[in-house]
A and B are shown apart, each in its own frame.
Chain A
Amino acid sequence: MADTKTFQPDLGFVKGVMEAGGDTVNRCYQCATCSVVCPLSTEESPFPRKEMLWAQWGMADRIAGDADVWLCHQCGDCSTYCPRDAKPGDVLGAIRANAIKYYAQPKALADLFSNKAGVLAVVGASYIAWLIVIFLWSLYTGERFLFPEGDVKYYKLLTFIPIDALALPAAGIAAWAGYMGITAFWRDLCKGSGYVSYSGTPVKPAIGPFIFKYIIPAFQEILAHSRFEKCGQTRERVQGHKLMLYSFIILFIVTCIVFVVNDMIYVPFLGHHFTPMPLWNPIKIAANIGAVMLVAGSWMVWQMRKRKTEEGVFKSSEQDWLLIYLIFAVGVTGVAAEVIRLFNIALLAYPIYVLHLATVVTLFLSIPYSKFAHLLYRTTAYVFQLYEKDLKEGKAGWGMEKEVLPPNPEEAEKAAH
C-alpha cells in the first residue's frame, strides 16, 4: 500500500464555509456542470467543481493554494445550471470571505469589519479621532474648534499635516496587513501548484518580468474588466463596478495632484492655499466627475446586487453589503461636504466633512480585512495565473530561455537502443 494517501479533513473549514454562505456545498455530486457552464473556467484547470469537492472534504490547504477561487467573479451561471442546487457560486464566495479572514492580521480587525456593528464602531472611533486631531490642531492654528469663523474652508479645520497624522498610520496598517496577506497567499499558491524551491520557499519571478510580464498585463485585464464581462447572469454588474474602480483611480490621481500643488508648492512657497479650487478648474472638474462616478457606480452595484439576490441568482452576505454601503457613504458624504461648502452652511458642512474623513479612513483601513481585500487577492491570483502558465511552459523569465522542445519519439527510441 505504498501509494496510500492519508489526509485529515479539516471539519472546521467545512463548517466555516457553510456558515459563511456556502451551506449548500454538501449537495454537490460532482457532475461538473459548473466547470463547463462557467465562462471563466479554463481547459487545464476547470473550476468550480474541484473546489466543491475540496470544500466538502475539508481540504483547506488545497483551497488555500488555489488561484481559481479568486478567478471567479460570482456571476452565478454555475448556480443557475447546478442540477443539485448546490450553488457553487455562493460556496466560492464563502470560501473567499473566509480566505480574507484567514490571511488578515490581526484577526480581530477582520472580525470587526465583518459585521455592521463593527464597521459602525470603526467609523465612530475614527470620527472621534478626527475630532481630537481637529481640537489639537485648532490649538495650534487658533481657529475655533470644529466651526472656524468666516466662509467654509476646510483647510481651516485641517491641513495635510494633521490629516496625514491620522491617515498615514491607518494606511500604514492597511499596507502592512495587505502585504502580509498577499505574500502568505502567494506562498500558498506556490505550494498549491507545486512550484516551491528545494528549501520550501515560494518561487517568484525576477522583478523585471514580474512587473512587465505579469503585473502590468494583469492590471490591464482588470482595468478592462474583460473577464468580468464574460460573466453571464450578472453582466450588468460590470458597469457599476467599472465606474467605481475608475472613480477610485481618478480620485487617487487628483488627490495626489492636490497634495503636490497645494501642500508642496502653494502653502510652503506661496504662503496660501490652492484649495478650495474654483469649479472650472480642470482638476476640480475631474474630482467632481470622479465623485459622481463613485456615487453612481456604488448605487448601481447596490441595486444590481439587491435584484440578483432577490431573484436567487446568488446570496449576499453582510460583508458584501457593508462594502457597498461604505463606498456609497464615502461618495455621498464627499459630494455633500462639497455642495454644503458651496452653500456656505458651516453648521452642516464641517460635521459632514469630518464624517467623510471618518468613512474614508474606515474604508482604507478595511482594505485587507473586509470584502475590499478582493482587490488584493484577486489581483494576486490574476498575476499568479499568468506566471504559473509561463512556469509550466518554462519561460517565466525575460523570454530568452532556451526553448524546450517536446521529446521526439523516434529519437527517443534510437537512444533507447
Chain B
Amino acid sequence: MSESILVIGGGFSGLTAAVEAAEMGYEVFIVEKEAYLGGRVAQLNKYFPKLCPPTCGLEINFKRIQTNPKITYYTLADVESISGNPGNFSVSIRVNPRGTTPQCTNCKAGEAAATSEVPNEFNFGMDTRKAIYMPHPMAFPNQCVLDLANTSPDEIEAIKAAMPAGHIDQEQQAETITLNVGAIVVATGWKPYDAEKIDNLKIGQFDNVVTNMMVERMASPSGPTGGKVVRPSDKEEPKTVGFVQCAGSRDVNHLAFCSQICCMATLKQVTYLREQNPDIEAYIFYIDMRAPGARYEKFYEKIKQDDKVHFIKGKVADIIPGDAPGSVKLVAEDTLGGGRIEQEVELAVLATGMQPVGAESPIPGIEYDADGFVVPKEGIIPCGCSKRPADVVSSAQSATAAALKAVQTLVRRAG
C-alpha cells in the first residue's frame, strides 16, 4: 500500500490537482516532460474572459508548491510505464538531465558564448534559442537548461567557460526512478492540432497563415515579437486578419470533437488586435460560434458590437494567394445567403483545436479512447484536457475533483 499520489503533467490541471491533494495532507509527485511547470497556460498571453495574464493563476500555484514540503516535482521527466493496482502502483520515470545546477538562474553569458541556434519550441519556431536557455522569463523552476543532446562537446565547453563556476554540469546522466504510489492523476493535457494535416488550409504554403497559439505568443510581451501581432513574412502589422474556426475540430478527418476553447480564444485574440490598432478589421469564419455560459456569452455579445469585427457563417475550406503581396484569400460559402466568397486578409489565423497528448504519446498502462482522451479507471483519474477539451477554469475544477478522487482511492484501500 502506498499513501502517495502521482500527478502526470505539470500544467494548470496537474498543478491544481497536486496542491489540492498535498494540502489535504498527502504526499504528491509531479512528473512534467518540459523543463518548466505551467504547461500550455504559460504560453498564453491572456485568459478569457477576464483578459488578465496567466501569471495570475500560475504564480499562486507555484507559491503553494514551493511552500508545501509534501510536493516533489520532476521536470524533463517522462513516465515510461505503469504497473500494479489501485493503492499500489509502481511507476517507472525517466528523468532527463538539465545540464545545469539550481544556482544557474541566468545564462546570458552562456548564451553569448553559444554558437548554434535552433527553433524555439516555446514560441512555435517563430524565433530561435541558443544551446543554453531559460525556457521563458517566468519559468518555474527558474533554472536554465543546457541542451546536452543536440550540442557539440566543444560548444558545451565554451558555454561552461563563459558561465560562473559550478553552474554547468554536463556530466549529468538520464536516470530512471521508480515511484510507488496509491493513485495516479493524469493531467497530460493537450497540444495544438497539427495544422499541416489539414491539407486544404495549406498552412505550410503561406507565410502569413499562422495558428491561434502562434498569435498567443506574438501577443505576449515576452513573445518573439515583443507583444505585437505581425505578419511573419514582413513583420508588418496586418490591417485585416481572418480567423478560421474549427481548423481541424468537429471534423471526422481530424479531431472528431469540438475543442471547446477556440471560439472564445478567437474572440479574445480579436481584443488583442483591436487594442493594438483601432483600424484592424477582423473576419471570423465559423460553423457555429460557441460561447457557453452567461459570462462567455456576454463577452461574445460585446465583440459583436464592434463594427470592425465581421462574422461570416461558413467554414473556410480553401486558402488561396491574395492579390496583395503576402496576403491570402479565405474561401468559404457565406451560408446566410452571401454566396461563395473569397475574403482577402493580410494575416490568417487557424483556430486549431486541442489534441489530447495521449493521441500521439500514450503512456503504457493508461487506457485511451479513440480520440486519445484518458479513460478513467479506479486509481487512474484524468483531469483537464487529458479527459476532455476544456478551458482553464473547467480544467482547474476537474483537477480539484480528481485530487479528491485520488484521495478517496487511498482512503478506501487503507480502510
Contact = CB atoms under 8 A, between A and B. Distances in A.
Interface of A: 29-37, 41-46, 49, 81-85
A85 B252 contact: yes
Q: Which of B317, B318, B331, B335 has the most CB of A within 10 A?
A: B317
Contacts of A82: 252
Contacts of A42: 340
A31 to B, nearest CB: 4
B340 A83 contact: no
Interface string B326-341: 0000011101000111
B394 interface: no
B203 to A, nearest CB: 16
B251 A83 contact: yes
A85 B252 CA distance: 7
A46 B333 contact: yes
B340 A35 contact: yes
Nearest to A86: B252
Contacts of B339: 43-46
Given A36-B331, A36-B333, A37-B318, A31 B340 contact: no
Contacts of B331: 36
B335 A81 contact: no
Contacts of B333: 32, 35-36, 46, 49
Q: Which of B200, B246, B318, B333 has the most CB of A within 10 A?
A: B333
Given A30-B287, A83-B251, A41 B335 contact: no
29 contacts: A29-B287, A30-B335, A31-B246, A31-B250, A31-B287, A31-B317, A32-B315, A32-B332, A32-B335, A33-B315, A33-B317, A34-B317, A35-B317, A36-B331, A36-B340, A37-B200, A41-B340, A43-B340, A43-B341, A46-B339, A46-B340, A49-B333, A49-B335, A81-B253, A83-B246, A83-B254, A83-B315, A84-B251, A85-B252
Interface in B24-65: none
Contacts of B287: 29-31
Given A41-B340, A83-B254, A84-B250, 18 more contacts: A30-B287, A30-B335, A31-B246, A32-B314, A32-B317, A32-B332, A33-B315, A33-B317, A36-B314, A36-B315, A36-B316, A36-B340, A37-B200, A42-B340, A43-B339, A43-B341, A45-B339, A81-B200
Contact of B250 (A36, A43, A81, A83): A83
Nearest to B255: A83
B314 A31 contact: yes
Interface in B233-289: 246, 250-254, 287-288
Q: Which of A44, A46, A49 has the most CB of B within 10 A?
A: A46
A189 to B, nearest CB: 19
Contacts of A43: 339-341
A36 B252 contact: no
A217 B23 CA distance: 80
A124 to B, nearest CB: 45
A44 B318 CA distance: 17
B335 A36 contact: no
Contacts of A30: 287, 335
A45 B334 CA distance: 11
Interface of B: 200, 246, 250-254, 287-288, 314-318, 331-333, 335, 339-341
Q: Is the interface of B mostly helix, strand, loop or mixed?
A: loop
A37 B317 contact: yes
A230 to B, nearest CB: 14
Q: Which of A43, A45, A83 has the most CB of B within 10 A?
A: A83
Q: Is the interface of A mostly helix, strand, loop or mixed?
A: loop
Nearest to B341: A43
A46 B331 CA distance: 12
A85 B318 CA distance: 18
Contacts of B316: 36
B253 A36 contact: no
A181 B61 CA distance: 74
Contacts of A29: 250, 287-288
A49 B318 CA distance: 15
Nearest to A53: B335
B168 to A, nearest CB: 50
Contacts of A37: 200, 317-318
A147 B227 CA distance: 93
Contacts of B318: 36-37
- A-B interface, 5 closest residue pairs, ranked by CB to CB distance from nearest: A83-B251, A36-B317, A32-B333, A31-B315, A35-B333
B280 to A, nearest CB: 25
Q: Which of A31, A32, A44, A82 has the most CB of B within 10 A?
A: A31
Q: Which of A35, A36, A45, A49 has the most CB of B within 10 A?
A: A36
Q: Which of A41, A44, A84 has the most CB of B within 10 A?
A: A84
A258 to B, nearest CB: 49
Contacts of A36: 314-318, 331-333, 340
Contacts of B253: 81, 83
A37 B332 CA distance: 9
Q: Which of A30, A33, A42, A49 has the most CB of B within 10 A?
A: A33
Contacts of B254: 83
A85 to B, nearest CB: 5
Contacts of B251: 83-84
A30 B315 CA distance: 9
A15 B324 CA distance: 49
Nearest to B314: A32
A30 B250 CA distance: 12
A29 B316 CA distance: 14
B3 to A, nearest CB: 47
Contacts of B335: 30, 32, 49
A47 B314 CA distance: 13
A81 B339 CA distance: 19
A1 to B, nearest CB: 21
A33 B250 CA distance: 12
B90 to A, nearest CB: 42
Nearest to B317: A36
B17 to A, nearest CB: 33
A32 B288 CA distance: 12
A405 B317 CA distance: 35
Contacts of B288: 29
Contacts of A85: 252
A276 to B, nearest CB: 56
Contacts of A45: 339
B340 A84 contact: no
A83 B318 CA distance: 14
Nearest to A42: B340
A36 to B, nearest CB: 4
A92 to B, nearest CB: 16
Nearest to B245: A31
Nearest to B335: A32
A29 B246 CA distance: 13
A31 B333 CA distance: 8
B345 to A, nearest CB: 16
A28 to B, nearest CB: 11
Nearest to A49: B333
B193 to A, nearest CB: 13
A41 B331 CA distance: 12
Q: Which of A30, A42, A44 has the most CB of B within 10 A?
A: A30
B266 to A, nearest CB: 16
Nearest to A80: B253
A36 B312 CA distance: 14
A82 B318 CA distance: 13
